[in-house]
Amino acid sequence: MTRHCSVKTELQMPADGRECVRGRDSKPVGEEEHVSGRKAEPADGRKSSGDKTGGAAGSRRAAAGAFLSLFGGICWGLSGSMGQYLFTEQGMDARWLVPIRLGLAGVVLFVYCLIRYRERLFAPWKSGRDRRDLLIYGIAGISLCQFLYFSTIQLSTAGVGTILQDLSPIFILLVTCRLEHRRPGAREVLSIALALVGVFLITTHGSLTQMAVRPAALLTGVLCAVCVMIYNVEPKHLLSSYPVTILQAWAFLLGSGILMALFRPWDWGYHPTAMGYFGIAFVVLVGNVLAFTSYMAGVGMIGPNKAILYGFSEPITAAVVGVLLFHSGFTVWDGVGFALVFLMLFLISGRKSA
């Protein structure tokens, strides 16, 4: 899953997926701004029929944005669950799957950008600053995030992988405070505490003596959240200059090339079954293309701060599928932990700007 997170600050950030952190009134890249004078209201204070029509249209737009954000999160959750199936039932390995997934998704997005943004597709490579930011965004951010995300699923479950990734707003918040030379406010400290307690309950089930999740899975999951922070925070100029689809296409192709050279999947001797090929197609088309386009369309309608809350459908979907199809355990501790992480997202996304 590649989603851009949202924290209300004046710091410009990206995206997953969709650029994650912008100022509270910012619009996604490529969306036109319309500035007009305030319409005069009737002297008696009644709203005109045009206002009522506009209100109805706004409500429909908000509902559509909520649905698309929710649907995008569900697609990411299903993609993570499919990854769990490929690891547990098809014998795949994240080191084999992720380079291929990134390569196929990169080709799909590259062809799309070649049609939609032909004149701008190679523009990020023409500037030294943009090249540097694209390498950071694509390799240390997007690609490493993808690899760690699926590694966490392989080491645990899709539910654990998605919920640990949702810790990324905490890291974004900490970096934001550092860059703004300020301490976290009371609401932000509470958000951090909720996230820590939530993860503690999910990974230990309330026990102080044993882990319910393998330490390696906890490590890769937290590092995945750090990578989300990197691709949301670092390339600010890049993210404000190009459509995120172009950046994603190059990021996936870069990551695929590097991971292919590192893990050499062609030497593994692994041959997928028909269901294996279906699973690969699913995580590419549903987990990348459909989830990304749906979620970003929702962000454009309701903004990133609301969309991230509906995007919590991702870990919920992964947890439900895990229980129903993979018979993964889901205890009261897990439920409380999920609720605390969601509350953390709610507090952070609703934080008022100074």
The pLDDT tens digits of the residues spanning 240-273 come to 889 888 998 999 999 999 999 999 999 999 999 9
Plot region of 302 (φ>0 → left; ψ -120 to 50 → alpha; else → beta): alpha
**Which range scores top for mean pLDDT: 48-52, 216-220, 342-346?**
216-220
Q: Assess whether pLDDT exceeds 80 at residue 182.
A: yes
What the block records as the tokens of 248 is 């994603």
Which pLDDT band, with edges at 50, 70 and 90, does 27 fall under? very low
Q: 8 and 352 in contact (C-beta within 8 Å)?
A: yes
- Taking the C-alpha atoms of residue 247 and residue 110, their distance in angstroms, rounded to an integer, is 10
pLDDT average, residue stretch 110-123: 94
Q: Assess whether pLDDT exceeds 90 at residue 353.
A: no
The pLDDT tens digits of the residues spanning 16-26 come to 343 443 333 33
**Position of tokens 């410009």?**
12
The pLDDT tens digits of the residues spanning 132-143 come to 999 999 999 989
Distance of CA 346 to the CA centre of its chain: 16
- Taking the C-alpha atoms of residue 332 and residue 330, their distance in angstroms, rounded to an integer, is 7
pLDDT average, residue stretch 31-37: 38
DSSP code string of 129-192: HHHHHHHIIIIIIIIHHHHHHHHHHHHS-HHHHHHHHTTHHHHHHHHHHHHTT----HHHHHHH
pTM of the model: 0.81
Q: 304 and 18 in contact (C-beta within 8 Å)?
A: yes
Q: Assess whether pLDDT exceeds 80 at residue 173.
A: yes
The pLDDT tens digits of the residues spanning 272-301 come to 999 999 999 999 999 988 888 888 788 888
Q: Where are the domains of the chain?
A: 61-349
pLDDT score at 224: 95
Q: 249 and 106 in contact (C-beta within 8 Å)?
A: yes
Short-list 352, 288, 346, CA closest to 312: 346
* C-alpha pair distances (Å), 73 with each of 193, 245, 311: 25, 18, 4
pLDDT score at 86: 96
Which pLDDT band, with edges at 50, 70 and 90, does 151 fall under? very high
Q: Cβ contacts of residue 55 below 8 Å, gap of 6+?
A: none
**Position of tokens 């299903």?**
78
Least confident piece of the model among 27-36, 114-123, 132-141, 169-178: 27-36
